[in-house]
Structure 1
Amino acid sequence: MDVIQVAILIGIGALLGFASGVTGISAVHLVVAILFLLPMFALAILPSLGTSLLVDVIGAGAVVCLYFRHKNVDFKVGLMMGLIAFSFAIMGASIAIAIGLSSEYLLVGGLGIFQILIGLTFIVRGYRKKESEESHLMEKSRLAIWLENKPDSYKKLILIVASIMLGLIGGLFGAGGGFAITFLLVFLLGFESHKAVGTACLVMLFTAAGAFLIYTAGAFIIHGVLYVNLEYGLIIGAACILGAFFGTQFAHHLSEKHLTIALGVIILVFGVFMILPK
């Protein structure tokens, strides 16, 4: 590995960590795009996904610690969703590996399109909502207000179903699902964006860990190979920690409106990366 490759990997990690610190976005959106699409790396799709999951674990762990310092992690919600997502991420990753040889482009392309739609939704919501001059909190969605008057059982059911779906999707696409979890917490449960990002990263940590377990230990036991490039993953992950620190500081100086728009822009840009032809 030459100096240029190392520099690019460090740059990816720093940018990724910054994005994760601001939005809780999954590593797969940038790591897979670079490792899979650029000729200088040219990893197959499964090792690219496995490497992105390693970065997810490192980056999400760093972001959770940083957001915890600002008391912006809801451990009750995060641990419940995380443990459920962990179990179903194992299932999703197993399915992804089984079909990966024939449909990896479809999986990555589908993730990119879904990401673009989510990004556009965040941007539109950010521009339409007004901020409270006193609290600087975003107005809650109608669904979030409706849920406030419902029994806790309704909210728990939504969280359980969402955790199952996010775990499966995270395993299938090799993504921790941070952007989808943030979307859920903001639009369904009315979390303010800072706490949504911190909690989403906690869930992403569990989701990525479950899928990564299959891409490494599971793949080695069944196929005799590790679907991960440890060298690339550790370099990106180390730079990701530094980027996450600055991203978290940046996020906590943003208003709710600006942070929501930032969520959408970063998600949208990474979505375009994912649908670019190789």
Structure 2
Amino acid sequence: MFYIGTSLFVDVIASLTVSYSYYKSGNIELKSGIWIAITSIFGAQLGAMLASNMGDSTLSSSFGIVLLLAGFAMLRKGLKNKKAESNSPKKFINFKHEWQKIVVALIIGLGIGILSGIFGAGGGVMILLALIMILSFPLHKAIGTSTLIMAITALSSTIGYGLEAI
């Protein structure tokens, strides 16, 4: 479990460095992204608690299964998109009300946080995809915002692993 906490701490340092660069360029927008950040903190704590109760073999097997599922999903999506004529990302959800966007962002953040806490990943790619495809962020703002949210999520997971070690 020590290596997961260490990996998360490295994510925090790297993500904060990148986030600062995007912040200087005006490419961080937390208005909508903050909802993902808030629930990812709680999800990361929950994930760290779950992981500390798993044996190494269970954790490794679970990680392998998640990677395989993600790989198959990406392969399937890539094959579907090969036929699409447009290279621009499309929104999956059209929100009629702002509260709907907030609820979806809260759910996404919780899931990303749990995965981050269990597997020791900051969740940046998942956050990036959610910001672009679901919340319709422009690419540069999505990258900057997801990197900052990833730093927050990874910090929460790191703290969770630290507390479990005590």
Same fold (TM over 0.5): yes
Give the count of matched residue pairs. 165
CA contact under 8 A between 1:84 and 1:167: conserved in structure 2?
yes
- CA deviations over 1:85-136 (Å, ceiling 9, x no partner): 11221111111011133412112213322442465446965884536xxxxx
Match for residue 64 of structure 2 among 92, 109, 117: 109
- CA deviations over 1:187-244 (Å, ceiling 9, x no partner): 212222222121111111111111101222x1232xxxxxxxxxxxxxxxxxxxxxxx
Instruction: Check 1:195–1:129 CA distance in 2 against 1; reply closer, same or farther (3 A cut).
Output: farther
> Structure 2 CA distance, aligned partners of 1:47 and 1:124?
40
Structure 1 counterpart of 2:165? 220
Structure 2 counterpart of 1:93? 48
Structure 2 counterpart of 1:191? 137
Match for residue 154 of structure 2 among 208, 227, 242: 208
Q: Aligned pair 1:143/2:92, yes or no?
A: yes
Instruction: Check 1:51–1:165 CA distance in 2 against 1; reply closer, same or farther (3 A cut).
Output: same
Instruction: Check 1:122–1:163 CA distance in 2 against 1; reply closer, same or farther (3 A cut).
Output: farther
Structure 2: gaps spanning 5 or more residues: none
Structure 1 counterpart of 2:121? 175
Which protein, 1 or 2, shows the higher relative CO under an 8 Å CA cutoff with sep ≥ 6?
2
Q: Indicate the RMSD between aligned Cα atoms, in angstroms.
A: 2.3
Paired letter, 2:104: I
> Structure 1 CA distance, aligned partners of 2:79 and 2:132?
13
Q: Secondary structure of the residue that 1:176 maps to in structure 2?
A: coil
CA contact under 8 A between 2:39 and 2:106: conserved in structure 1?
yes
How far the C-alpha of 1:74 sits from its partner, in A, is: 1.0
Paired letter, 1:54: F
> Structure 2 CA distance, aligned partners of 1:67 and 1:122?
28
What TM-score, normalized to structure 2?
Answer: 0.86
Structure 2 counterpart of 1:75? 30
Structure 2 counterpart of 1:24? none
CA contact under 8 A between 1:77 and 1:199: conserved in structure 2?
no
Instruction: Check 1:213–1:72 CA distance in 2 against 1; reply closer, same or farther (3 A cut).
Output: same
Structure 1: gaps spanning 5 or more residues: 1-45, 132-137, 222-278
Paired letter, 1:143: F
